[in-house]
């Protein structure tokens, strides 16, 4: 294992930066090739499903609404997130090339956390859209216009760059003079900070603040919107109107469960210092970060009648001349 260290002086301190790192999260996992082949299939399905959803929303003008702008946004960031994580994981553990350069590691670190943050806020925007539609149905067309939703989505993409970029710049100030083996399947802030041989308390504290901003706060907002929606639904006159209102939220609720529950479980186990196999921990993290990205378009295609009808109609048009 070659390790080229390059000390740089800044503010009277010497920082040791290795030439690169080694991803060893799945190295000792028995029969890991089965997991990796499964991960490859997950990636293919994720790309096919999300590109299909993007095409359906883009090609059908009746879907050019604020609600489906949020769906389109989620599909785009799902593709970005899975592409940042899965190809490098397959290269590292399926083709035995687990070395990643220093700059490449921090680039993956930035985009992995950035895409995950955008996913979280994309789901928040979907909750916001359903909240306005059900609690303020008469004002919905004036509150949620296409242009306004586009500005909100673009703002999320742009503003989330700032804290993540700050985290990367902060991580570059860490001296890596101990190990260069990352015990996970991708470069993450937490794993990089723990490899530092100096005081990384400040960086870990900032990582916790970032976790609160992209996990706890969005979840709290979503929970509050669902409470407000439930109150509004109970006030509706007929059982049919209540059923329709609830059905419009069912897809999003399933989405919330698939995305947030695995993250919460992993986060709570880490906070409670629950001891369990390192391999099991890596497997659960791999699946919790990748499986929801595959399920998102499937959920919308199967649970949303409007999207399902348009997809079937498009396939019929292509098959009928044959």
Each of the 322 residues of the chain gets a pLDDT tens digit; together they read 434 444 444 444 566 788 899 999 888 888 888 899 999 999 999 999 999 899 989 988 888 999 999 999 999 999 999 999 999 999 998 888 899 999 999 999 999 999 999 999 999 999 999 999 988 989 999 999 999 999 999 999 999 999 999 888 888 878 887 788 998 899 988 888 888 877 777 888 888 888 889 988 999 999 999 999 888 888 887 887 778 777 778 878 888 888 888 878 877 777 776 666 778 888 888 888 898 888 888 777 666 777 777 777 766 666 555 4
**Which residues on neighbouring strands pair with residue 14, listed in sequence order?**
9
**Which pairing describes strands 20-23 and 99-101: parallel, antiparallel, or unpaired?**
antiparallel
Structure token digits, residue 128: 């916001």
The CATH number of the domain holding residue 44 is 1.20.1070.10
Distance, in Å, from the CA atom of 117 to the CA atom of 163, rounded to the nearest integer, reads 10
With 0.85 as the threshold, say if the pTM is over it. yes
Q: For residue 272, give both structure tokens.
A: 């409670």
Its domain, for residue 262, covers 20-312
In a domain? residue 2: no
Here the tokens at position 47 are 């790309």
Retrieve residue 283's tokens.
């497997």
How far apart CA 285 and CA 270 sit, in angstroms, is 11
Note whether 273 and 281 are within 8 A (CB): no
| pLDDT number for residue 129 | 92
CA–CA distance from 178 to each of 22, 169, 207, 257 (Å)? Answer: 13, 20, 21, 39
- The whole-number pLDDT of residue 302 equals 64
Alpha carbon 145 to its chain's center: 26
What is the reported pLDDT for 15?
A: 66
C-alpha torsion angle, residues 40, 257, 303, 114 (rounded to 10): -60
How far are the Cα atoms of 48, 49, 57, 132 from residue 76, in angstroms, in the given order? Answer: 12, 11, 12, 23
320 occurs within a structural domain: no
Q: Does residue 263 form part of some domain?
A: yes
pLDDT at 6: 44
pLDDT at 156: 95
The b/e string for 279-309 (b: 16+ C-beta within 10 A; e otherwise) is bebbbbbbebbbbbbbbbbebbbebbeebee
- Cβ atoms within 10 A of the Cβ of 156, count? 18
Q: Do the Cβ atoms of 288 and 266 come closer than 8 Å?
A: yes
Number of domains observed in the structure of the chain: 1
**146 is a domain residue:** yes
Q: Look at residue 12 and tell me if it is in a domain.
A: no
* Residue 111 covered by a domain: yes
CB 196 within 8 A of CB 13: no
């Amino acid at each position: 294992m070659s390790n080229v260290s390059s000390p740089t002086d800044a503010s009277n301190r010497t920082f040791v930066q290795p030439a690169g790192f080694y991803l060893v999260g799945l190295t000792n996992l028995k029969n890991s090739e089965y997991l990796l082949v499964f991960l490859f299939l997950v990636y293919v399905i994720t790309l096919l499903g999300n590109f299909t959803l993007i095409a359906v929303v883009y090609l059908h003008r009746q879907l050019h609404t604020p609600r489906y702008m949020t769906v389109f946004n989620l599909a785009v960031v799902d593709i970005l997130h899975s592409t940042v994580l899965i190809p490098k994981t397959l290269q590292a553990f399926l083709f035995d090339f687990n070395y990643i350069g220093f700059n490449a590691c921090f680039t993956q670190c930035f985009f992995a956390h950035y895409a995950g943050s955008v996913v979280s806020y994309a789901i928040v925007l979907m909750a916001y859209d359903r909240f306005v539609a059900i609690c303020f149905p008469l004002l919905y067309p004036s509150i949620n216009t296409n242009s306004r939703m586009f500005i909100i989505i673009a703002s999320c993409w742009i503003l989330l760059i700032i804290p993540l970029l700050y985290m990367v710049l902060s991580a570059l100030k860490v001296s890596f003079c101990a190990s260069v083996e990352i015990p996970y399947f991708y470069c993450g802030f937490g794993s990089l900070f723990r490899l530092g041989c100096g005081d990384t308390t400040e960086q870990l504290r900032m990582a916790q603040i970032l976790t609160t901003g992209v996990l706890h706060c969005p979840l709290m907002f979503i929970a509050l919107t669902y409470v407000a929606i439930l109150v509004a639904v109970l006030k509706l006159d007929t059982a049919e109107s209540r059923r329709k209102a609830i059905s419009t939220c069912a897809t999003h609720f399933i989405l919330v469960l698939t995305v947030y529950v695995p993250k919460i479980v992993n986060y709570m186990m880490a906070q409670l210092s629950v001891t369990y196999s390192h391999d099991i921990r890596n497997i659960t993290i791999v699946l919790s970060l990748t499986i929801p990205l595959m399920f998102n378009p499937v959920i919308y295609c199967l649970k949303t009648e409007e999207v399902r009808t348009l997809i079937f109609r498009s396939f019929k048009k292509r098959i009928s001349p044959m």
